[in-house]
Structure 1
Amino acid sequence: MLFLLLLALPATAQALTFSTVILDAGHGGHDGGAAWYGLVEKRLCLDVAQRVERLLKAKGLKVVMTRRTDTFVSLDDRAWIANRNSRSVFVSIHFNANRTTSIHGMEGYYRSSNGKILAGSILRSMDRRVTGKYRGLISRNFKVLRSTKMPAAVIECGYISNRTEANRCATPSHRQAIAEGIAAGILAVRG
């Protein structure tokens, strides 16, 4: 009976041990990522990553950014930067797009079981703080997930191809809510 009760515990009861957070602002430089309705993904990613950095540093965590400016960083270099830091977690921040412009919402991607814990905590936290649809967790074999040695997650903060969501993402207050959700989700799993 106790075993069944333990299986029923929510993922928020699980903790990860880390002292450093690697924040990866997606795209950059000549790689703009998605571009819709006047928004360019690389700019949104960097803005949110810098907001998350400030929040985590205020809580005493060490933060390493894979990029701080509009520069291109290869996927291999992003993983190399991350893997130089022991006792860390890796969070890659992105915004999504689809030709089917009715699609909207937030998604979390992971590859390992600890990555799933991290992505799940972030997405649940965002779901409580950010206007938008919770689209769920998805296991993927993305380069930054398979090449990093620590718990890693890719967070898609919304679909900028959806006009309503793009309008929200264009506002600093919405990007701040996203950052607060990501930071709180990271802090919630810190053991």
Structure 2
Amino acid sequence: MRIANRKRFTFSCIFFTLILLLFGKAAINLKESKIMGSQPVVMAVGKNGTNKLETTKVDKHLKKDTIVLDAGHGGIDNGTSYKNLYEKNLTLKMVKYAESYLKSKGYTVVLTRNKDELIPLKEIGRRVNASSGTVFVSIHVNSISDPNFKGITTLYYDVQGYEKQERIKLANILEKEAVKSDNWTSKGIKKQNVAILRYSKIPCALVECGFITNNEDRDKLCKDEVLKRLSQNISDGIIKYLKQD
């Protein structure tokens, strides 16, 4: 009986030792997981056969930004025009192309208008500032009495230096991206006191997409495939701006 009791005692000691070891390992793993937080973990096998713990950084851009787009003019305000070609229709078409493209990239897009209606400038500013947006871009078409003027220009404005460098940076990126297709001429960026840029409290810019009064630009504006490429280029500029550190 004493031998049997001794065996049972020895077995119990071994059993409880194993239990303690298992709980100890679980506690260590739990501590490591708390230290690592939400970072993804990759287990790799080293040259000597041992497990190697590697972590990968979380992309800070995984959380997508909200982008606000404005189609210039609308309703009774045709904007600039040439015969039956109206700025208000061109801008709405481009904004909808951009909206579709940006949504396909996972971004949230807010339009100041999505149909042919006139939104007062102060109301546009209110909608922009109430949108929780990260960036605001307004799309327009240019015109001038001299038919030789052509090309794309991007406007920015800062009130007493507010977000000046961010607005300049956004305008520069948009201008460079906008002219990448279809041989558009770049007319650079320009500071101009535009109401919707003045009202906006987030980084913003206004892209003048060619001159409707120029034959070459107007021919481009009449082609849907050109408008789509231009819209995507502007969208790529927005994305590029947002992804900058």
Give TM-score, length-normalised by structure 2: 0.69
Instruction: Report if aligned partners of 1:39, 1:166 keep a CA contact under 8 Å in 2.
Output: no
Is the aligned partner of 1:137 residue 2:137?
no
1:41 Cα deviation (Å)?
0.2
Structure 2 matches for 1:154-169, cutoff 5 A? 154-169=206-221
Structure 2 matches for 1:90-109, cutoff 5 A? 90-109=136-155
Question: Please, which of 68, 73, 91 is the counterpart of residue 22 of structure 1?
Answer: 68
Partner of 1:86: 132
Q: Distance in 2 between matches of 1:130 and 1:42?
A: 22
Q: Which amino acid aligns with 2:139?
A: I
Partner of 2:168: 116
1:113 Cα deviation (Å)?
2.0
Q: Distance in 1 between matches of 2:136 and 2:156?
A: 11
Q: Decide which moves more: 48-57 or 123-132.
A: 123-132
**Percent of aligned positions that are identical:** 31
Question: Please, which of 170, 173, 182 is the counterpart of residue 234 of structure 2?
Answer: 182
1:130 Cα deviation (Å)?
3.7
Q: Which runs of 5+ in 1 are unaligned?
A: 1-16
1:128 Cα deviation (Å)?
1.5
Q: Which amino acid aligns with 1:31?
A: D
Please list the CA deviations of residues 16-75 of structure 1 after superposition, one character each: whole Å capped at 9, or x if unmatched.
x97111100000000000011431000000000000000110111110000000000011
Bigger RCO of structures 1 and 2 (CA < 8 A, at least 6 apart): 1
Partner of 1:67: 113
1:87 Cα deviation (Å)?
4.5
Partner of 1:152: 204
Instruction: Report if aligned partners of 2:80, 2:143 keep a CA contact under 8 Å in 1.
Output: yes
Q: Distance in 1 between matches of 2:90 and 2:186?
A: 19
Partner of 2:87: 41
Question: For the pair shown, which has the larger CA radius of gyration, 1 or 2?
Answer: 2
Instruction: Report if aligned partners of 1:37, 1:161 keep a CA contact under 8 Å in 2.
Output: no
SS of the aligned residue for 1:23 comes to: strand
Q: Distance in 2 between matches of 1:21 and 1:38?
A: 31
Q: Which amino acid aligns with 1:126?
A: A
SS of the aligned residue for 2:77 comes to: coil
Instruction: Report if aligned partners of 2:68, 2:133 keep a CA contact under 8 Å in 1.
Output: no
Q: Distance in 2 between matches of 1:61 and 1:18?
A: 5
1:110 Cα deviation (Å)?
0.6
Q: Distance in 2 between matches of 1:87 and 1:34?
A: 28
Q: Distance in 1 between matches of 2:83 and 2:105?
A: 35
1:163 Cα deviation (Å)?
1.4
**Which 4+ runs in 1 deviate beyond 3 A?**
none
Q: Which amino acid aligns with 2:76?
A: H
Q: Distance in 2 between matches of 1:179 and 1:107?
A: 14
SS of the aligned residue for 1:128 comes to: coil
Instruction: Report if aligned partners of 1:121, 1:189 keep a CA contact under 8 Å in 2.
Output: yes
In the alignment of these two chains, the number of paired residues is: 176
Q: Distance in 1 between matches of 2:193 and 2:148?
A: 26
